[in-house]
Amino acid sequence: MTPSVILEITLTVLFGLSIGSFLNVCICRIPEELSVVKPPSNCPKCNNEIAWYDNIPVLSYILLRGKCRHCSTKISVQYPLIELLFAVILLHLYYHYFDSGYRLIAVTYFGAFSACLLTATVIDLKHYIIPDEINLAGIIIACIGAMVYPRLVNEDSIWAGLLHSALGIGAGFASLRLVVYIGGIIFRREAMGLGDPKFLAMIGAFIGFKMALLVIFISSLLGAVVGSIVIYLFRSDKSNTVIPYGPFLAVAGYVALLYGNDLVQWYIRLISFE
């Protein structure tokens, strides 16, 4: 490893931890319709402002042994977990795009994508909603990035980049909306709200329309398997089959971004062997 690679990895980890810390703020405040920039963080129990030295990602949680300095209320383990997870995601992206010739730009762009996926996942698990703010922010970042640096989305001009995102948005929204509509006819109830189609529109803005369609396939497969296990093992009321679909879309979106082409190739080989 060269010194510059070590520097890049260090920065990627530090950047991941601090953005992860910001994502925690988003996860707590966006569902409450509060600003994510001010006021500064305070303890939800005793309201004391959290000093900068008690707000260092992961490290402060360990030093404070997971408790507020003033009132000793337990701090949710969600905070260090999200920070660590996001740092790992950025490292994974760095590794994946290492030889691309634009790895730092890719880490930034698809890091923003992953930040939207992770924030929406946790909010959907907690509140059964995916806030429009996240989808909108993602769509704007996706379009700007695809136009400014079209190579990120395998295109070669501003307009091809924009078209990539626009088609992804349209296909993501329309295809999942159609599935909801057909599901509604078959099962005679609304299988999901508009939140999920809007979320897939955001995912499509980053990964394009072909991969957005692949996301429907992967996420329904994941949802069927994981959903049944969760309901069977952990639900006391087995008739309650409501599970948030957003997390499955998010995982599928990430998988499609990094391994979508390989999966499609593999599948084509599989069926052509007959």
Report the distance separating Cα 105 and Cα 152, nearest Å: 8
Bridge partners of residue 74, in order along the sequence? 67
Which of 71, 77, 148, 158 binds Zn ion (CB under 5 A)? It is: 71
Region of 74 (left: φ > 0; alpha: ψ -120 to 50; beta: rest) is beta
CB of 30 to Zn ion, least distance (A): 22
Q: Of the two residues 48 and 154, which places its CB atom closer to Zn ion in the complex? A: 48
Q: Shortest Cβ distance from residue 147 to Zn ion (Å)?
A: 45
DSSP string, 74-142: BPPTHHHHHHHHHHHHHHHHHHHTTTSS-HHHHHHHHHHHHHHHHHHHHHHHHHS---HHHHHHHHHHH
**Shortest distance in whole angstroms from residue 20 CB to Zn ion:** 22
Q: Which of 26, 30, 68, 117 touches Zn ion (CB under 5 A)?
A: 68
75 CB neighbour count, 10 Å cutoff: 20
64 near Zn ion (CB under 5 A) = no
Rg (CA), the chain: 20
In the region spanning residues 232 to 271, those forming contacts with Zn ion, defined by CB under 5 A, are: none
Give the residue with the Cβ less far from Zn ion, 72 or 157. 72
**Is 50 among the residues that bind Zn ion (CB under 5 A)?**
no
Q: Does 70 bind Zn ion (CB under 5 A)?
A: yes
What share of residues in the chain are helix, strand, coil (percent, to 5)? 75, 0, 25
Q: How far is the CB of 172 from Zn ion (least distance, A)?
A: 42
- Applying CB under 5 A, the span of 69-77, 84-92, 110-118, 212-220 interacting with Zn ion comes to 69-77
Pick from 217, 225, 255, 261: nearest CA to 89 = 255
Least Cβ distance, residue 47 to Zn ion (angstroms) = 7
- The residue (of 51 and 136) whose beta carbon lies closer to Zn ion is 51
DSSP string, 55-70: -STTHHHHHTTTB-TT
Least separation in angstroms between CB 65 and Zn ion: 14
From the list 66-74, 162-170, 200-208, 235-243, the region that binds Zn ion by CB under 5 A is: 66-74
51 scored as a contact of Zn ion (CB under 5 A): no
Binding mask 28-47 for Zn ion (x = CB under 5 A): ---------------x-xx-
Task: For the CB of residue 71, give the shortest distance to Zn ion in the complex, in Å.
Answer: 3
The crossing angle, in degrees rounded to 10, of helices 195-234 and 246-272 is 90
Q: Would you tell me which residues interact with Zn ion (CB under 5 A)?
A: 43, 45-46, 68, 70-71, 73
